[in-house]
């Protein structure tokens, strides 16, 4: 069994097994979500507006605020899930 995101992605990309491929997709999605949370949080700490962040991400201000706004005051440390270690 794969032990890291890299191992999961490589195994999934190289496999004919849909289960392995889908696990790779999940690993990439979770990594992408963590990176987004990290950088949105950092941008907010540096004074970026929701509009600035939305423009860079290619989404509306409302979309980025809906996704990340509830954690703006408390940070992201409490948003970890059981999937964050994939």
pLDDT for the residue numbered 59: 97
> Is residue 14 very low, low, confident or very high in pLDDT (cuts 50, 70, 90)?
confident
CB 59 within 8 A of CB 40: no
pLDDT > 80? residue 64: yes
Rounded CA-CA distance 38/1 in Å is: 28
Identify the band that residue 40 occupies on the pLDDT scale cut at 50, 70 and 90.
Answer: very high
- Tokens 């509830």 locate to 70
Task: Write down the pLDDT at residue 82.
Answer: 45
| Paired tokens of 19 | 């289960």
Query: What pTM does this model have?
Result: 0.69
> What is the DSSP code string of 5-72?
HHHHHHHHHH-S-HHHHHHHHHHHHHHHHHHHHHHHHHHHHTT--HHHHHHHHTS-HHHHHHHHGGGT
Higher pLDDT, 70 or 64: 64
């Amino acid at each position: 069994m794969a032990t890291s995101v890299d191992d999961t992605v490589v195994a999934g990309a190289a496999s004919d097994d849909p289960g392995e491929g889908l696990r790779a997709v999940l690993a990439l999605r979770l990594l992408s979500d963590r990176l987004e949370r990290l950088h949105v949080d950092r941008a907010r700490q540096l004074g970026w507006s929701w509009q600035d962040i939305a423009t860079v991400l290619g989404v509306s201000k409302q979309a980025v605020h809906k996704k990340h706004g509830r954690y703006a005051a408390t940070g992201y440390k409490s948003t970890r899930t059981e999937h964050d270690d994939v």
